[in-house]
Structure 1
Amino acid sequence: MLDTNLDIAARYIKDGKLVAIPTETVYGLGANALDPLAVAKIFELKERPSFDPLIVHIADLDQLNKLTSGPDERILKLAEKFWPGPLTIVMPKSDIVSDIVTSGLPTVGIRMPDNKVALELIKRSGCPIAAPSANKFGRISPTTAEHVRKQLPDVDYILDGGKTTVGIESTIIKLTDKGFQILRNGIITQEELEQVVPFDGNSEIDKLSAPGMLKSHYSPKKRFLIADNVSSDLDRSKAGLISFTGNLEGSFKKVINVSKANDLREYAVNMFEAMHTFEDDKEIDVIIAEPVEEQGIGKAIMDRLRKAEYNWQQE
């Protein structure tokens, strides 16, 4: 069911069902984070491997205190600066957080979404909500309710909040004795975070300690390549280009320009939607994406593009 009724969605969460929820980043597949059986349904519906931990979404700092063990003043400083917003902080979990949420890890990733619908749903549900992206595992992230319905038609309820405003998943960080590590790049950049906490570029990062750390992710069902990796003999008459600068648009069957002003934020907002559009287009056999410089938000964009391309590059 696709609708905008928060009371129905909250009742579904309380009853242990799954609700696709809008956030500012992408749509999430939500369940009561304190109900292990409900959380297990997320893994089942997404076909997500059990070793990939989930992010827990909260609406206030009281929930944060219940979900974590041990105070850290740096977390409060980061929360004051970036919450609500697209920042996930991985921190030691309390006993009320089930191992199924964290894939057996002693830490849990938590964020407070900057979306009024999501925040209100968490409040009405009376519980934190575990929510990875509302898509089949490894496939294109959903930025509209229709994207969710296309990939997860069996979800109990889809709460339609319109198109997401950020368009890519949150930045994920973990604090160390020396500062913070970036586990997944997002719209909040290293430079912005360094204004609050020092960057730790030396400590070893734990593998698979957060979502989105696998080599392959965000991938369309059709062949997907970054423009730099396209051979000269590619048949462009059946190719769709995700364009940014406009410099590569000649000879492609179709072009989607994700930004008229060369704005990286617009690229991030529109990138997954462009992938979905070409994936659904019967005239397109291969999707090509224009790369950007890996500075600031460009790091997050290139992270998504490389992971979307990874399996296609192996063929």
Structure 2
Amino acid sequence: MSERFSCLDDDEREAGLEAAWSAVRDKALVVMPTDTVYGIAADAFEADAVAALLAAKGRGRHMPPPVLVASTTTLDALASRIEPYVHTLTEAFWPGPLTVICRQQESLVWDLGETRGTVAIRMPDDENALALLRRTGPLAVSSANLTGHPAATTIEQAEDQLGSSVAVYLDGGPAGSGVPSTIVDCTGETPRIVRVGAVTAEQIAELGVEVG
């Protein structure tokens, strides 16, 4: 049986964050608001939980979920051989709608799917999401929708699509922009935009970062 909590009420928000934290520890799934769209989340370090996330969306291992973090410093813990421009990008756009694909730390024990040794990382600009991430640590998070369907921008849309596959729903009201994050491949000497989203190529170029 799924539980739903409103993050618009302080007391209910606290209860919801506790319930979501407990669910993550139990390898269950949580839906939470972000600054872009609603996300479905699982403990990034629990392979069974990540597999359940992909199954709930109807997605295969060939489409591994990004990892959301609560701090820019976590980037160095999850990624290795980080190109200098990555810090330029994250200092400018984190927290915010920019996802960077980096080489993952080889010492990490997790299974996000067929990542080919990389990890996609983002720090969301949403206080409810950050509050949960501070409690749980890095979460594997994908848009809260069935694959092939529009991303959920309200908790009702997420519930309609994902139903009882999710243990806890955190309602933060309408999601931020409704526009997905921009995904940039940062594994090479020059960054390459994989998906155009809320951050534009022009905004990146204004930082003096050449985009391939």
- Asked if TM exceeds 0.5, the reply is yes
> 1:176 Cα deviation (Å)?
5.5
What is residue 93 of structure 2 aligned with on the other side?
82
- Which consecutive unaligned segments of at least 5 residues does structure 2 have? 7-15
TM-score in terms of structure 2 length: 0.89
Cα deviation 1:188-210 (Å, max 9, x = unaligned): 1000011221011xxxxxxxxxx
* Partner Cα separation in structure 2 for residue 183 and residue 97 of structure 1: 26
> Percent identity of the aligned residues?
36
User: Which among 117, 130, 134 is matched to residue 140 of structure 2?
Assistant: 130
What is residue 41 of structure 1 aligned with on the other side?
52
Higher gyration radius (CA): 1
Secondary structure in 2 matching 1:77? helix
What is residue 2 of structure 1 aligned with on the other side?
4
Q: Is the 8 A contact 2:98 2:122 kept in 1?
A: yes
Per chain length, whose mean CA-contact separation is higher, i.e. which structure has more relative contact order (CA < 8 Å, sep 6+)? 2
What is residue 199 of structure 1 aligned with on the other side?
211
Q: Is the 8 A contact 1:173 1:182 kept in 2?
A: yes
CA RMSD between the two structures: 1.4
> 1:62 Cα deviation (Å)?
3.0
- Which consecutive unaligned segments of at least 5 residues does structure 1 have? 201-315
Cα deviation 1:271-295 (Å, max 9, x = unaligned): xxxxxxxxxxxxxxxxxxxxxxxxx
How many residue pairs get aligned? The number is 198
Q: Is the 8 A contact 1:67 1:97 kept in 2?
A: no
* Partner Cα separation in structure 2 for residue 120 and residue 144 of structure 1: 19
- Runs of 4 or more off by more than 4 Å in structure 1? none
User: Which among 94, 107, 115 is matched to residue 118 of structure 2?
Assistant: 107
Q: Is the 8 A contact 2:94 2:122 kept in 1?
A: yes
Matched, 1:182 2:193: yes
* Partner Cα separation in structure 2 for residue 198 and residue 104 of structure 1: 25
Q: Is the 8 A contact 2:83 2:188 kept in 1?
A: no
What is residue 265 of structure 1 aligned with on the other side?
none
What is residue 160 of structure 1 aligned with on the other side?
171
Secondary structure in 1 matching 2:143? coil
Matched, 1:139 2:141: no
Q: Is the 8 A contact 1:143 1:164 kept in 2?
A: yes
The one-letter code of the counterpart of 1:133 is: S
Secondary structure in 2 matching 1:108? strand
